[in-house]
Amino acid sequence: MKYARLTKEQLEELHVEFSNFLASQQIDKAEWDQLKIDKPEIVEQELDVFSDLVWEGVLKTAKYIEHFSASHIFLFQFDETDIDTIVLKTNNKDINFLTEEGLQWLGNNLGSNDVEIRYGAKKFGLDRNTEIFDIIKQGGILSQGELYEQIKIFLGK
């Protein structure tokens, strides 16, 4: 398995797609139910293959990821070859970017000395999707990129 198995909830949400996947493997519902009883190892393999296919599709189209902590915000933007990163940091111990108040404070104090902003870019290594998945495993969340684009404009990039 290249990525991670989808959770039970994710699989339930994708039940139509999973049914189509099984049909493409020429496995109908009766056969699937029998496999769960007789050959659970095959069931595990099919779940892993399906999960990897879903992750490949998601990662291939990923353009932005956000990762928030109390004192840092990491914003990532991807294209086919490059990963750009904006890091926002506050040294103000009273601010918590995980709260609505902390984000409002950031909006009001973006240009102040209490906020450090760093920008960087690099080429992807051998496997773009694996690098993006590693960011997700560390707590990154796929986004539409609104905050990244706002900060990029603020920086004049």
Residue ranges covered by each domain of the chain: 8-61, 64-155
Determine whether 8 is exposed, middle or buried from the number of CB atoms within 10 Å of its CB (0-12, 13-18, 19+).
exposed
* Non-local CB neighbours of 92 within 8 Å, separated by 6+ positions: 114
Each residue's pLDDT tens digit, 72-117: 999 999 999 999 999 999 989 999 999 999 999 999 998 899 999 9
Q: CA 28 → CA 42, 46, 49, 53, distances in Å? A: 14, 13, 17, 19
Q: Say if residues 97 and 71 touch (Cβ distance below 8 Å).
A: yes
Distance of CA 61 to the CA centre of its chain: 11
Whether residue 12 has pLDDT greater than 90: yes
Each residue's pLDDT tens digit, 133-146: 999 999 999 999 99
